[in-house]
Amino acid sequence: MAIIELCVKAAVGAPDVLGDCPFCHWVLLTLEEKKVPYKTHLIDVSSKPEWFLEVNPSGKVPLIKFDDKWLSDSVVIIGLLEEKYPHPPLSTPAELSSVGLEIFDKFVAFLKSKDAKDGTEHALLDELKALDEHLKNHGPYVNGEIITSVDLRLAPKLYHLEVALGHFKKWTVPDSLPHLQIYTKSLFSRESFEKTKAAKEYIYAGWAPKVNV
């Protein structure tokens, strides 16, 4: 099996260390779960190398090399990985692919919020409650017993939520959402996640400029 080349974000202030991009993390998790060999290029997004911009003028990560062609966009990359490496299958049934889709945007809005009464916390809690309810009825994963791509997409975002909100707002997922708490622990304890997660200090460093504006 050929080794895949993948460009991912380097840590803020530490260009030789894996950074905090949840979309890069989703691709890394997929490669690990499928046991596909890969080599990473860490990209300092504040000073992108010339060769990277030549093959990828948009400058976005993740970026993957397939058959001598560089491709960006995590959704496209995940689809191609599923097609090229179908085992184990990770595709999510279409009707479940949008489960939890709004959580990340609501988390970012709450994280950046300076007004406790602006409704951003409530909006995030509504999304988390919906996911908890889905897991209660269909869990332990979004599609039942078997992990699929939607779980691998959610895992990095829930990690950012837990780490960043805990650090900047001293906020945690409430105990009234036990299915979500179990789900999160299960995802975070997977070998693929342990191997590919950014260290907490780099999650803080990545969000600090956006929180302190």
H or E stretch covering 42: strand 38-43
Residue 109 burial class via C-beta count within 10 angstroms: exposed 0-12, middle 13-18, buried 19 and up:
middle
- What 8-state DSSP symbol labels residue 144? B
| Residue 24 a catalytic site member | no
Of the candidates 12, 21, 131, 147, the residue annotated as catalytic is 21
Cα–Cα distance for residue pair 77/82, rounded to 1 Å: 9
- Residue for token pair 């184990």: 88
Long-range CB pairs of 115-123, under 8 A, 24+ apart, other chains included:
121/171
Give the residue numbers marked as catalytic: 21
